[in-house]
Every structure is written in C-alpha cells, then in structure tokens.
Amino acid sequence: MKNRHWDCSRATLGVMMAGVLLVIGSWAGSLQELPVRNMLSPEGIRWFLQSLLPNAEASPWLTLFVLVLGLGVLRESGLVQAICQALAFRQPGVGRLSRKRRQALVLALAFEVLYVVSLCIGTFSRHEILLGVTGTLERSPFLAGWPLLASVGLMLPGSIYGLASDKFRGLLDLLRSLSALFVPMAGFFVYLFCVSQLLGMFCYAGFDTWWGVRMDILAPLFYYVPFFVCLVFSYSSDAPAGK
C-alpha cells in the first residue's frame, strides 16, 4: 500500500541545499569583507564539528520526543476516532458507538478531567507545589516539566480508553503504543537534526545579525510547523479505527 504519510525527505533535502548555499555565501561574503564568518575557514570547520550535538540539544527534539510518546498512545487507543464518531453520530453514514466504547470514552474523559484538576490544584492552590520559589511560573517545575505533564495528559485518557474498550489487550499493547508514531515521524526527526545545524550555522556565520533576523521567531517556525504537519498526516492517513 502506498505510504500516505507526509514525507519529510524533500524538506530535509531543502535544508541541506540551504546549508550548502549558506557555506558558499559565508565564504564569498568574507572575501568581500562583509560582516560574516567564513564557514570554510579552519575556525569555522572546528566550530561545526564541535557544535553538532550542542545544536541538536538546543533544538526542541527532546520536548517533541516526549510528546510523541503520549501522542502515540492516544493515536493507537482509538480515542480520537471515538470522540469524532460521538460528535458526528447524527450525520449520515456515521454509526453509533457501542455501549462498551461509550463507557470507555466517559471513563477516559473523567480521568482526564481529574488529571487537569490535579494540575490546577498543584499550580494554583495554596500549596503551589508546581510553582517556582518566587511563587510564580518563572523557573517553576511546571514550566520545566511541561513536556512530560502534557505527554501524561495525552497518555492517560488514551490508556484508559484503550484498556477499557479492549483496543489494548494488555500492558504489552499499551507499551508498544508508546513508539507507534516513531516510524511515521522518523523522517521528521532527521529533518529536525539537519535544520538545527542549519540554524546554528546561520547564527555562527552572523547572517542573523547582518540581516536583522529574529531567531526567537524564525527557529520555532522551522521546528514546530513541520512537526504539526507531519503529525496531522500521521493521524489522518492510516490511524487505526476504534473498535
């Protein structure tokens, strides 16, 4: 069957070509005494080799990795499809959820509400265990751990629905669902590694300062927009139908 996932290979190829042009531009710019660093100089080559891992670590790859764990459980559980089916029940061609799936859906949503309420209590109650030492969100455990908190918020209803509806036959099925999205989204993480190097080179060469580019705006566009596009295609192309 033809793979209908969004292919990140073209985006990765475009990033690589942009990287080549950036290197050539930095070399030509240094010859013209423009305010850029030459990436082909010994200093530039040393910087590139030493910054491969730091550039990747500076990107949100770990944040997205943790989110993909929860999204994988949510996808494989069939909860999203059950919610859509429940909302569109009265439309032509849309069947009614079985009693078991309705009960699993209510149970999953109830646990999700309890989880959100628990987070609110831990953040805004008088105990404020998720706030920082200053009593605000600045440097707080909530902001430091939001990827895990969000991922758990996705895993929890998916796990409850999957187990209650027999979509997951046991703990092994649940554990396998954690990695369900890594195959369709593997190309994105290759792209993410490449684009983190491109943005690092762009800053090192000095093009961001010379052109007045705001990296705090540009970088998230390169990171998160392809992630959400890839995620939407992964869910809509061949997401498993719930029982």
| Residue 66 covered by a domain | no
156-174 pLDDT tens trace: 999 999 999 999 999 999 9
Q: Work out how many domains the chain is built from and give that number.
A: 2
Q: How far apart are CA 121 and CA 239, in angstroms?
A: 34
56 and 99 share one domain: no
Give yes or no for a contact between 204 and 51, defined as CB atoms under 8 angstroms apart.
yes
Q: Answer yes or no: do 45 and 86 share one domain.
A: no
149 and 210 in a single domain? The answer is: no
Nearest alpha carbon to residue 189 among 66, 73, 61, 71 = 61
Q: What is the pLDDT of residue 190?
A: 95
Which residues does 185 contact at the CB level (< 8 Å), separation at least 6? 68, 230, 231, 234
Q: What percent of the chain has pLDDT over 90?
A: 69
Largest distance between two CA atoms of the chain: 73
Whether residue 50 lies inside any domain: the answer is yes
In which domain, by residue range, is 34 found? 7-61+184-236
Same domain, residue pair 95 and 158 = yes
Asked if the model's pLDDT at residue 90 lies above 70, the reply is no
pTM given for the model: 0.85
Q: Which residue has the higher pLDDT, 238 or 110?
A: 110
Mean pLDDT over the full length of the chain: 89
Domain boundary among 136, 166, 196: 166
